[in-house]
Amino acid sequence: MGEQGAVGEHPPITSFVHHRARLTAGQQSAWERWWSVRGHEVPELLAGREPFDPPAWFGRTAPLVLEIGSGMGEATAQLAAEAPGTDHIAVEVFEPGLAQLLMRIAEAGLSNITVLRGDAVALLETCVAPGSLDGIRIFFPDPWPKRKHRKRRLVQPDVVALAASRLRIGGTLHMATDWADYAVQMRTVCDEEPSLEGGEIPRPDWRPLTKFEQRASSEGRSVHDLLYKRRAVGPSGSHST
Ligand SMILES: C[S@@+](CC[C@H](N)C(=O)[O-])C[C@H]1O[C@@H](n2cnc3c(N)ncnc32)[C@H](O)[C@@H]1O
């Protein structure tokens, strides 16, 4: 891997900042009630103290979608409710967001979401087997708009290559952003990744319209959806499909 998630003498550059944030009373009680049932700590999985084991977590083997940065869990919970036959792993570092998602899971009685706290890039690299995911979602990743912070953007060549390698052939990488130049970056990086094919698509009706997206639209920023599929690439980089 490149700088993101790499372990070296310097702290790795991450796509997130760890804010200590207070939980609301509802989030706190959801955390106390549900975290031990639905939550897992990424550092425990990375260290091998706990297995990354979706069939055990969900009690079945089903198509598996992983979301990087589920935020407050609005889209995550809605998409999981609409796809009961698919299992969803939401990875986030922001505790109030994880707690809010736990509340949504409990309210809707969803059994097809597992919530992980920690860095999704490290998780993909260390714990997720190649070719094992049906989909990866990255909705509205932090834009890091200042030029000096650009290297913190999640969607970069090494992370996209890693994500693509964890998808099965035909599995999808779906991204959305309200930052035009980030959409260009996503497209450039994914177009250059030989194991992916796709591009920008019209906004799919099935992607939930979150408060976050509504605010972007009301502030005049248009939203870009990008959908790529993993394709088979031969050892020389030639396409075998
Ligand atoms: C701008 S928010 C968008 C949240 C949500 N997807 C939405 O559409 O409302 C981006 C989220 O990604 C999370 N994030 C960024 N990098 C991450 C990483 N490497 N692993 C896990 N979460 C990450 C941040 O904590 C933040 O909550």
| Residuewise pLDDT in 10s, the chain (241 residues) | 544 544 446 667 888 887 778 999 999 999 999 999 999 999 999 999 999 999 999 999 999 999 999 999 999 999 999 999 999 999 999 999 999 999 999 999 999 999 999 999 999 999 999 999 999 999 999 999 888 888 999 999 999 999 999 999 999 999 999 999 999 999 999 999 999 999 999 999 999 999 889 998 899 999 999 999 999 985 555 555 4
**In the annotation, is 142 catalytic?**
yes
Does 184 reside within a domain? yes
- Give the mutation target among 93, 128, 215, 223 for probing the ligand 1 site: most ligand atoms within 8 A of CB: 93
Q: Residue 90 domain-assigned?
A: yes
Residue 178 resides in a domain: yes
Q: What is the pLDDT of residues 91-108, one digit of tens each?
A: 999 999 999 999 999 999
Nearest to 90 by CA among 24, 130, 157, 136: 136
Residue 197 in any domain: the answer is yes
Domain count, the chain: 1
Instruction: Tell me if 18 is assigned to some domain.
Output: no
Predicted local distance difference test score (pLDDT) of residue 116: 98
Q: Tell me the best of 13, 14, 94 to mutate to test the pocket of ligand 1, counting ligand atoms within 8 Å of each CB and taking the most.
A: 94
Q: Report if residue 16 sits inside a domain.
A: no
Does any ligand 1 atom lie closer than 6 A to the CB of residue 92?
Answer: yes
Rounded-to-integer distance, Cα 68 and Cα 92, Å: 7
Catalytic residue among 134, 142, 191, 225: 142
User: What is residue 239's predicted lDDT score, i.e. its pLDDT?
Assistant: 56
121 domain residue, yes or no: yes
pLDDT digits (tens, 9 = 90+) for 165-176: 999 999 999 999
232 token code pair = 């088979």
Per the domain annotation, does 19 fall within a domain? no
The CATH number given to whatever domain includes residue 60 is: 3.40.50.150
What is the residue range of 132's domain? 28-230
Which atom of ligand 1 has the smallest separation from the CA of 121? 19
